[in-house]
A and B are shown apart, each in its own frame.
Chain A
Amino acid sequence: MSLKKMTRRDFLKLAGVTSVGAVVAACAPEPTKAPAPTAAPKPTDAPKPTAVPPTAAPKPTDVPKATTAPTAAPKLGATLIGKLEGPTIIRETAQFPKTFKEAPMLADLVKAGKLPEVAKRLPDPADLMVIKPLKETGKYGGNWRRAFTGPADHENGNRINSADKILHFDYTGNKIIPMLAKDWKVSDDGKTITIYLRKGAKWSNGDPFTANDFMFWYEDVYLNKALVTTPFFEFQINGKNGVMKKVDDYTVAYEFPEPYPYFVYILAGSTSMGAGFATRGAFQTNGGSYCPSAYLKQFLPKYSSEDAVNAKAKAAGFDNWVSYFKNRYSWALNPDCPTMTPWRTVSPINTPTWGMERNPYFWQVDTEGNQLPYIDKLTMTLAENTEVANLRAIAGEYDCQERHMGLAKLPVFLENQQKGNYTVHLDPAFNGSDLALHMGNAYEGDAEIAALIKNKDFRHALSMGIDRDQLNEAFWLGVGTPGSTAPAPDTLYSPGPEWNKKWATLDLKQSNDILDKLGYDKKDGEGYRLRKDGKGRLRLEMITVPGSFVPYTPMGEMIKQQWKKIGVDVDIKETERNLAFGKTANNEQQIITWANDGSEMLYLFARHALPVDTAESHMGMAYAKWFASGGTQGKKPEDPEMLRAFDLFRAAMGQKEEDQIKSAKEIWKIIVEQQWSIGVVGQSPAFMGVRIVKNNMGNVPERQVNAQHARTPCTSGPQTFFFKS
């Protein structure tokens, strides 16, 4: 008996606590909550165990209604998603500071005569890049602690150090701004894009940064067949190569045989031409559009002899000069490599700690003339297991970390906020779907299934058979946005909010009707539809890839249960990533689960929106090969709508910006209408959008753009972050 009472008392206690929590939540500056505890009657003094505790107030019917009707309650997570903000760039030279200050760490070196004074290290006063920090002028010093998972995780540091991009996007992710280039110009015919460099800017070792660094890259690296075997498609228009020309020491022109105004976006985006020397060097693919010529000459045969550079390589343990050159070209692997980034590597990424230190020649200052960055050092410690990285973040061992932090761990992060002295921010991304069911549109294995996959109505039926709210609740903690693959409504290329819902809401009746109409009205004992060729049940195969930012296999399991209601069976096949991508490359998959990250900037990273990229194309590799080769390889799509999308896509590169945007919207309409890829839940913080920031860090935005093209967190200006204490 006493046990029974205890249990009940515990229930009451628990109920009380949760209701208090809910009341507190409801007092937050937002409309009333769904489980409206304030509306609850005052708990009558309850000696009887059957009395209703406060939280039992919402009637049984209230709860499901509240959770399925998003309009009734503010969106979950709204309190953790702040205002989109960031530092701004001052372009009025009149407002530029006239005197300069530097970090104490560098002042000591200047005193010791090891470094020129700060004014001499900065570019010419008129060519400075001046940043107005988000909130305040920072203090110098400190060590920014982060986690990285190993030498393949160079993007972790690249993204923080992406200030060496030629052009970039501002903190909204929508507007192109100058970076390394102080300005740019597109010629009237759209064939020439000219960039203007900052006079007096210097590499981190003090070497001058000029047009020669661009020409060296173009002539000695890019055109060197040993280093770059295949031309970058981003440096081509309709398969025709562009060329780079030096106008003067501080002016460089990119010239194309056809109009290519979109190249400005290529220079601002995360591409092989625009992502910056540091990033593309770390990728070991010799991209970047410029590189430190004075330093790198010693590793090229042209400037000594092949034997000499090979001998150098052998002495360092490398097979040949090509391998050694790539190694020397990487700022992450080679601490000697000059960079234009806020920090440079001192302890390389292939050791247990990736250590970075401020670049004494960094070419940006704040509005008061303080040379950036504020923070002296960056220390990334190796956590090969992301669970360990997350636990360390919870323990407050990292100062600012958004990479590798799991959305599923959000309750634990929140619970330990005070103990760990940090704040959790959510940065939802703009892409439509973290879970997209990419259909094997070029699949040919099973004739009947292949015909179905190619049938638009069938794809609509599948899409309307998914209960996205369920998936959102279980795997995105209700924080994501259910919908199609289309990007967020406030993005540049969004075809309009109605397209986010199109074909993407649960409608079992319509779905079942379509399938019946397609002739699949016969069912087996368990209610699954039967194939027409008499080979039993209509069963699809879905490949799920483990070890991603979101758990695809359990998501697949849930969809399997949902599709039961439309009588479609699906086998979930968890397949290791290489094997899975191998299958899509051979057009052997019926459905694969993957994200459509990056697709919000349709032209910059189209591979998750349309089958156009042979490096990765889950929506029909044969079509991608056909598109990329200009029709000489692969297979021509039979679907006229896909051909129309291809034509629009190809034409857009040469169009003026307004037309480009118009074309992009049109392409998105086609993509959503056709459902070549079924979007499920997106616009969420699941990919690098759970940000853990220690409370003593200053100038950190409440919300930052979370997108590939923005090189998150680069648009937030990490060089302006600082430690308040």
Chain B
Amino acid sequence: MIAYMVRRVLLAILTIWAITILSFLIIQLPPGDFVDTYANTMSAGGTGITEGEKQALREQYGLDQPMYVQYLKWMGLIMQGNFGMAIEWGRPVMDVIGDRLMLTIVISLAAIVFTWALALPIGIYSAVKRYSLLDYVFTFVGFIGLAIPGFMLGLIVMYVGFSYFGANVGGLFSADYAEAPWSMERVWDLIKHLPTPAVVLGVAGTAQMIRIMRSNLLDELRKPYVMTARARGLSETRVIMKYPVRVALNPFISTIGYLLPYVVSGSIIVSMVLSLPTVGPLLLKSLVAQDMFLAGTIVLLLGVLTVIGTLISDLLLMWVDPRIRLGRQ
């Protein structure tokens, strides 16, 4: 068991290294560099900078060096625990991300809680009471949620909220609390702003989860062991909850490690539309601006989180499903 764990950890490190190279390459793929983007942005904003100024900026940021030198420089910095400067922001990368990472996790958790709290009971209900009226209703409503593109839903929710309910437009804080230090009032302000993004983000995932939960559980309910359990006089709740639900959760657990990157990726568009201060739009902006260190670090960070998540989910899988555990040995 320990040998297995050690092997897994070593492999994880290898994976992370592969991710650094891949992410570096991907970010370098588009033509031009940060200075080009910056100059072009300025031009679009009605003010130009000169060729000489461009060259000076390039030298300052080391963008005139060959790609492998830049990569090695980046690796060298990371080894020292320094993730470099976010060029566009003029702040250390970790400062820029730090502000937003926590809010991202808060929103993601809210969305996940919303999704699971709604999807699991409904999924179980739909499987057990298949073809009942409520099954149809849940199915229908769930799918509509799945079918509306997130960006559309976000804008509509925001616009309707503004024009009919006088709600705040986008963001996670009211203007008064945007810059305030953390306090109970600020937390409360955040909580008040959470439902919109959580619902908009969670809606699509919920429908998907209901469907998969229902499918999995239906598969399990037909198995002989369920009949056996029932025949032995176990209560219906116990029959369903004890084994079939646990087994039906198996595919979820195998993907739990991807939840965070999935939600972050999925949240980019919604965060853009709702103007949420999360990592998502930051990633998108840094990619567009070709802000190498910032984009690279975010991709790397998400990669590491995923690798760790996968590790955890594999271990969880062994714990939940004894068949896998035994198979390993």
Please determine if A and B sit in direct contact within the complex, based on CB atoms under 8 angstroms apart: yes
Asked if B218 is at the interface (CB within 8 A of a chain A CB), the reply is no
Q: CB of A318 within 8 A of chain B?
A: yes
Residues on the A chain within 8 Å of B158, using CB: 388, 391
**B155 contacts partner chain A, Cβ-Cβ < 8 Å:** yes
Per-residue CB contact flags for chain A residues 193-233 toward chain B (1 = under 8 Å, else 0) read: 00000000000000000000000000000000001111111
Kindly identify which residue among A152, A383, A576, A688 contacts B38, using a CB–CB cutoff of 8 Å.
Answer: A152
Map CB proximity to B onto A562-591 as digits: 1 under 8 Å, 0 otherwise: 000000000000001111011000000000
Interface residues of A in 534-588 (CB under 8 A from B): 547-549, 576-579, 581-582
Q: Does chain A have a CB within 8 A of B78?
A: no
> Which one of B12-20, B83-91, B198-206, B321-329 contacts A?
B83-91
Q: Are B169 and A233 in contact (CB under 8 A)?
A: no
Residue of A nearest to B30 (CB): A578
Counting CB contacts under 8 A, is B119 at the interface?
no
Across the interface, do B179 and A351 meet the contact criterion of CB distance under 8 Å?
Answer: yes
Hey, what's the 0/1 contact readout for B138-166 against A, CB within 8 Å counting as 1?
Answer: 00000000000000000100110010000
- Contact of B233 with A by CB under 8 A: no
Is the Cβ of A353 less than 8 Å from the Cβ of B179? yes
Query: Contact: A229 with B285, CB < 8 Å?
Result: no
Count CB-based A-B contacts (< 8 Å): 168
Q: Is the CB of B60 within 8 A of A322?
A: yes
Looking at chain A's contact residues, the main secondary structure is loop
Chain B residue with minimal CB distance to A383?
B275
In the assembly, what is the distance between CA of A387 and CA of B46, in Å?
20
Chain-B contact segment, one of A169-177, A500-508, A610-618: A610-618
Give the contacting residue for B47; candidates A145, A155, A379, A548; CB below 8 A.
Answer: A155
User: Which residues from 140 to 172 on chain A have a C-beta closer than 8 Å to any C-beta of chain B?
Assistant: 145, 150-153, 155
A355 within 8 A of B: yes
Q: A155-B46, A272-B53, A385-B273 are in contact. Are A391 and B162 (CB under 8 A)?
A: yes
The interface residues of chain B lying within 8 Å CB-to-CB of A229 are 52, 55-56, 59
B274–A230 touching, CB < 8 Å: no
Task: Say yes or no for A285: interface residue by CB 8 A criterion.
Answer: yes
B129 within 8 A of partner (CB): no
Taking CB atoms, residues of chain A closer than 8 Å to B266 are none
Interface residue from B48, B60, B171, B285 paired with A616 (Cβ < 8 Å)? B48
Determine if B41 is an interface residue (Cβ-Cβ < 8 Å). Answer: yes
Q: In whole angstroms, how far apart are the Cα atoms of A547 and B51 in the complex?
A: 24
CB nearest neighbor in A for B61: A323
Q: Is A35 an interface residue (CB 8 A)?
A: no
In the complex with contacts A152-B289, A347-B179, A350-B96, A233-B36 CB distance below 8 A:
no
The number of chain B residues with a CB under 8 A from chain A is: 57
Q: Is there a chain B Cβ closer than 8 Å to A721's Cβ?
A: no
Closest chain A residue to B91, Cβ basis: A350
Please report the C-alpha to C-alpha distance between residue A317 and residue B93 in the assembled complex, in whole angstroms.
Answer: 10
Q: Are A578 and B32 in contact (CB under 8 A)?
A: yes
B196 close to A (CB within 8 Å):
no
Give the docked Cα–Cα distance between A333 and B82 (Å): 21
Contacts of B90 in A (CB 8 A): 151, 284, 327, 330, 333, 350
Chain B residues numbered 157-190 whose CB sits less than 8 Å from any CB in chain A: 158-159, 162, 169-171, 175, 178-179
**Is A155 in contact with B42, judged by CB distance below 8 angstroms?**
yes
Partner of A598, one of B46, B92, B179, B281: B46
Q: What's the minimum C-beta distance from B70 to chain A, rounded to whole angstroms?
A: 13
Q: Give the bracket for the number of chain A residues in contact with chain B.
A: 35 or more
- Is there contact, CB below 8 Å, between A397 and B92? no
Asked if B45 contacts A387 (CB within 8 A), the reply is: no
Question: A232, B50: Cβ atoms under 8 Å?
Answer: yes
Tell whether B39 is near chain A: CB-to-CB under 8 Å: yes
Does A425 sit at the interface, judged by CB under 8 A? no
Q: Is the CB of B273 within 8 A of A153?
A: no
Contact among A152, A227, A687 for B41, CB-based, below 8 A: A152
Q: Hey, which chain A residues are within 8 Å of B66, CB to CB?
A: none
Identify B56's interface contact among A228, A353, A381, CB under 8 A.
A228
Q: Give the docked Cα–Cα distance between A151 and B43 (Å).
A: 15
Q: Which of B43, B49, B91, B162 contacts A283 (CB 8 A)?
A: B49
B88 in complex: contacting residue of A151, A228, A283, CB < 8 Å:
A151
Give Cα A413–Cα B74 distance, bound, in whole angstroms. 47
Q: Which residues of A contact B230 (CB under 8 A)?
A: none
Note all chain B residues with C-beta closer than 8 A to A628: 51
Known contacts: A285-B57, A578-B40. The answer to whether A607 contacts B85 by CB under 8 A is: no
B242 at the interface (CB under 8 A from A): no
Mark B208-228 against chain A: 1 for CB-CB distance below 8 A, else 0: 000000000000000000000
Q: From B43, B89, B178, B275, give the contact of A384 (CB < 8 A).
A: B275
Check B195 for interface membership: any CB of A closer than 8 A. Answer: no
Q: How far is the CA of A383 from the CA of B272 in the complex (A)?
A: 9
Residue of A nearest to B37 (CB): A578
B-side contacts of A547, CB under 8 Å: 44
| Contacting pair B169 A391 (CB below 8 A) | yes
A283 with B53, Cβ < 8 A, contacts A391-B169, A613-B48 known: yes
CA distance A452 to B282 in the complex (A): 45
State whether B31 touches A582 (Cβ < 8 A). yes
CA distance A394 to B159 in the complex (A): 11
B130 contacts partner chain A, Cβ-Cβ < 8 Å: no
Contacts of A379 in B (CB 8 A): 175
Asked, given contacts A152-B38, A232-B50, whether A388 binds B274 with beta carbons under 8 Å apart, the answer is: yes
Residue B54 at the chain A interface, CB threshold 8 Å: yes
Give A598 to B31 CA distance when docked, in angstroms: 27
Check A317 against B96 for contact (C-beta < 8 Å). no
Using known A-B contacts A232-B50, A285-B49, determine if residue A151 contacts B175 with beta carbons closer than 8 Å: no
Q: Does A326 contact B (CB under 8 A)?
A: yes
Q: Is A627 interfacial (CB-CB < 8 Å)?
A: no
Chain B, residues 266-294, CB within 8 Å of chain A (1/0): the string is 00000011110100010001000110000
A326 to B91, CA, bound (A): 12
Q: Is A116 at the interface (CB under 8 A from chain B)?
A: no
Alpha-carbon gap, A388 to B50, bound state (A): 32
Residues of B within 8 A of A708 (CB): 46-47
Chain A residues with Cβ under 8 A from B53's Cβ? Answer: 230, 232, 272, 283, 285, 287, 615
Among A307-344, those with CB < 8 Å from B are: 317-319, 322-323, 326-327, 330, 333
Report the minimum CB–CB distance from A689 to chain B (whole Å). 11
For the complex formed, measure the closest distance between the CB of B281 and the CB atoms of chain A, giving whole angstroms: 5
Q: Closest B-chain residue to A548, C-beta based? A: B44
Q: How far is the CA of A614 from the CA of B90 in the complex (A)?
A: 27
> Which chain A residues lie closer than 8 Å to B54 at the CB level?
615
A318 CB to nearest B CB, Å: 7
In the bound complex, residues from chain A placing their C-beta under 8 Å from that of B38 are 152
Interchain CA distance A397-B95 in the complex, whole Å: 29
Q: How far is the CB of B55 from chain A (nearest CB, A)?
A: 6
- Give the residues in chain B near A352, CB-CB below 8 Å: 99, 178-179, 277
User: By the criterion CB–CB under 8 Å, are A323 and B162 in contact?
Assistant: no
CB neighbours of B155 from chain A (8 A): 387
Q: Does A597 contact B (CB under 8 A)?
A: yes
Task: Indicate if the CB atoms of B60 and A579 lie closer than 8 Å.
Answer: no
In the bound complex, residues from chain B placing their C-beta under 8 Å from that of A228 are 52, 56
A692 to chain B minimum Cβ distance, whole angstroms, is 14
New A-B contacts (9) at CB < 8 Å, excluding given A317-B92, A352-B99, A395-B162: A153-B45, A155-B46, A229-B52, A230-B52, A283-B42, A285-B57, A350-B90, A379-B175, A547-B44
- A contacts, CB < 8 Å to B: 145, 150-153, 155, 227-233, 270, 272, 283-287, 317-319, 322-323, 326-327, 330, 333, 347, 350-353, 355, 379, 381-385, 387-388, 391-392, 394-395, 397, 547-549, 576-579, 581-582, 597-598, 605, 607, 613-616, 628, 687-688, 708
Residues of B within 8 A of A (CB): 30-32, 36-57, 59-60, 62, 82, 85, 88-92, 95-96, 99, 155, 158-159, 162, 169-171, 175, 178-179, 272-275, 277, 281, 285, 289-290
Residue contacts A-B, CB under 8 angstroms, 8 given? A152-B38, A272-B50, A350-B90, A350-B91, A352-B277, A387-B155, A392-B170, A615-B39
User: What are the 10 A-B residue pairs with the smallest beta carbon separation, nearest first?
Assistant: A230-B52, A388-B275, A578-B32, A285-B53, A317-B92, A229-B56, A388-B170, A350-B89, A614-B51, A615-B51
